[in-house]
Chain A
Amino acid sequence: MTKKIFSKPQAVIGLILIMIVIICAIFAPVIAPNSPDQIDPSLKYLKADGDYPLGTDQLGRCELSRLIYGARYAIGMSIPMLLILGILGLIIGTFSVCAGEKMDRIITFICDVFISFPSLITAIAVISVLGNGIQNIAVAVVISMWAWFARTVRSYAATEMGKEYITAARISGCSTVSLIFRHLIPNILPQCIVYMSTGVASAIIMISSFSFLGLGLPQGTAEWGAMMNEARTGLYGHPEMLVYPGICIFVTTAGFNLFGEALRDALTSEGGI
């Protein structure tokens, strides 16, 4: 399985991109040449040189350092969020399938209601209730996306529960709890992981969309979307400030999408999905 994944160049490229971003996020203080938040108006819009490899922004902050620290927000927020979403989806999805028809209908209905909102809108609504803050963004994204995860896991679980080996296990006296943990979850887990890995990209784009709109994170945060929001005024004079953060978002999401896709291909060819 792993061999199969890594025989594909797109998986390797994806993983390399992901690793680069993760390393940037973890070792940001070591890698970054300057402090990302050091404001010095006298240094504004410096050309790239030894001290400031990508120059400085409108407040004289080191652009490269800010980009590197930005990886912390992208990775540090999206991955925990996806873990929460994945676990929540697994619990609700399997519960929905296993808890009887009535419960299943109720949960499906609630999911339908949540899915009726485009996720960006739900998240905006939640932010409007909770106010700004990193945790609040996380909560907003989880609330806006959980229904998709729950519904997807539910469909995986429902397919799996219809298979003969589950019936066989039931007949041979396997209890529901052990059925879920021994058979159901291990069998749907790979599909769920693939779904999660493609969800990371959309979570990253959503987070940066938020901060671009000025929602969620405080002004001046070294987050890619927020940086673009601040660089808007420099559209004529300093367009490079708009280009860099976008490339970072693009590289990160491309990494996760490429890897997720290779994962799905490997799984599909194994007859997993």
Chain B
Amino acid sequence: MKKYFIKRFASTIPVLIGVTVLCFILMTMSGKDPALAAAIRSNSAGDTILVDSLREEMGLDKPLPTRYFLWLKGLLKGDMGKSVVTYHSITDDIKTFFPVTFQLVIMAMGWMIIIVFSIAILCARFHGKMFDHIVRVLTIGGICLPVFWLGFMLLLLFAVRLSIFSVVPKAGISGYILPSFALAFPSACGAIRVMRSSLLSEISSDYAAYARTRGLSEWQIIVRHGFKNSLPPVITLFGQYLGYMLAGSAVAEKVFSLNGVGTYLVSCVVSGDSSAAAACIVIIATVFVITNLAADVINRLICPWMVREIND
């Protein structure tokens, strides 16, 4: 067990290095000269001496590998330089924007867990009944819903028509209820389908039949035994969806006028601020790698007999 965890942790390190290299390449490839961009920003594009000194200040005159290590060092220290557009420290920017996205994604995850677990369990219990069929149809439809459209429809219904929530984002949790639901719902539909079929295969397995012969009711079999065993594929999926939702938050934030990392990233891309964009992307990718790792570790802990190849 310990050996597996160490191996699994170690296997993420090369991936993370690859992630940073790729980000760095994208950043340098973006074609825009950060020094020049900064100079244009301060209305002194023609001043070649200034541009050169800026270039030197930013370390752009050094060879690529050196620049990569300098950049990586800064990244690890939490010093990612200044945004060439806003002239704020990128770290400070991210510190202000990340909590919004983080809260949004965590709440979306909460929605997801509530919706997926309850609906999938009911589907398994009433397999083949009306409820199950309705959920099947609804989830096929739900997967196809674009987050932004769902978001607008929720706004229209709850904020414009029913006036339960406000269209302008409110501070506190209530401002996140609609956006997190919009973000979670399409993914939750996918996860319900996975969990439903996983649960169904568990309750038709040998041990479920044996449990029936010992006098357990269907509910007891699902809740006490089937549920836990059906989790591994669902948790793997949750790990992935967490990353997707982090990326998809850009869309949800725009619909609900929240200022999160997603909005920040898009504005960086639009304004050509490649170093800030790269910083956001590295952070999101790292979180994604970590959630996938966490999903594997959780799976290992609840199902210790699972023998899985590391690169699987």
Contacts and interface: CB of A to CB of B under 8 A. Distances in A.
Given A117-B288, A129-B26, A246 B18 contact: no
A130 to B, nearest CB: 9
Nearest to A121: B247
A208 B150 CA distance: 13
A116 B270 contact: no
A263 interface: no
B24 to A, nearest CB: 11
B152 A242 contact: yes
Given A208-B146, A209-B148, A246-B153, A118 B247 contact: yes
A134 interface: no
A221 B250 CA distance: 21
B183 to A, nearest CB: 12
Contacts of A212: 146, 148, 251, 254
Nearest to A261: B140
Interface size, B (range): 35 or more
A121 B270 contact: no
Interface in B131-166: 140-141, 143-150, 152-153, 155-156, 160
Interface in B1-45: 14-16, 18-19, 22-23, 26, 29-31
Given A119-B247, A212-B251, 11 more contacts: A109-B18, A112-B311, A116-B288, A116-B289, A121-B281, A125-B277, A129-B26, A209-B147, A209-B248, A242-B156, A261-B140
Interface of B: 14-16, 18-19, 22-23, 26, 29-31, 140-141, 143-150, 152-153, 155-156, 160, 167, 243-244, 246-248, 250-251, 254-255, 265-266, 268-270, 272, 274, 277-278, 281, 284-285, 288-289, 292, 311
24 contacts: A109-B14, A109-B15, A109-B18, A110-B18, A112-B18, A113-B15, A116-B15, A116-B18, A116-B289, A117-B285, A124-B265, A124-B277, A124-B281, A125-B269, A129-B29, A201-B143, A209-B147, A228-B148, A235-B167, A239-B156, A243-B156, A246-B148, A250-B144, A250-B149
